[in-house]
């Protein structure tokens, strides 16, 4: 299996402190469920967690985590349970587009699912194409 560096942490980060975003995209998009499930979940504001990092939406946190976390607007990315950064919904869309540009869907159904996830996310946040 060929692993794809979906968001290059050396050249494609909007800000250096977004390192956790690149790590999560690398791991989430290359894992068993892959980019399609990751994008469909992002469009529904469902976070993701792996060995190296995770991403969370406020509404996806359970009650316990909400009592331990200061409320945030946007998406929180964490690297190795230590370094966290909150990015805007527009910044996440940039990273989604950046990663998707490097991916070739396996078939037409996968392409439709990815297109639909991007459209849903874009419409949910009023982002223009």
Angle between helical axes of 19-30 and 34-43 (0-180°, round to 10): 120
Q: How confident is the model over 97-125, as a mean pLDDT?
A: 94
Per the structure, the count of domains in the chain is 1
Position 22 confidence tier, pLDDT thresholds 50, 70, 90: very high
Q: Cβ–Cβ contacts within 10 Å for residue 20, how many?
A: 24
- Does 24 map to a domain? yes
Global pTM reads 0.92
- Does 34 map to a domain? yes
- Does 9 map to a domain? no
- Does 5 map to a domain? no
Tell me the residue range of the domain where 47 lies. Answer: 16-124
- Does 10 map to a domain? no
For 26-78, what is each residue's pLDDT tens digit?
888 888 768 999 999 999 999 999 888 999 999 999 999 999 999 999 999 99
- Does 92 map to a domain? yes
Query: Can you give the pLDDT at residue 12?
Result: 93
What does 18-58 look like in DSSP terms, one character per residue?
A: GHHHHHHHHHHHHSSSHHHHHHHHHHTT--EE-SSEEEEEG
């Amino acid at each position: 299996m060929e692993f794809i560096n979906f968001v290059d942490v050396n050249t494609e980060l909007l800000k250096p402190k977004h390192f956790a975003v690149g790590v999560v995209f690398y791991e989430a998009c290359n894992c068993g469920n892959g980019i399609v499930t990751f994008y469909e979940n992002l469009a529904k504001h469902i976070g993701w967690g792996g060995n190296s990092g995770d991403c969370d939406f406020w509404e996806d946190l359970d009650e316990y985590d909400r009592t331990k976390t200061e409320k945030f607007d946007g998406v929180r990315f964490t690297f190795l349970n230590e370094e966290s950064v909150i990015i805007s919904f527009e910044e996440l869309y940039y990273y989604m587009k950046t990663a998707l540009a490097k991916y070739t869907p396996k078939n037409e159904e996968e392409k439709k699912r990815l297109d639909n996830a991007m459209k849903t996310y874009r419409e949910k946040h009023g982002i223009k194409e």
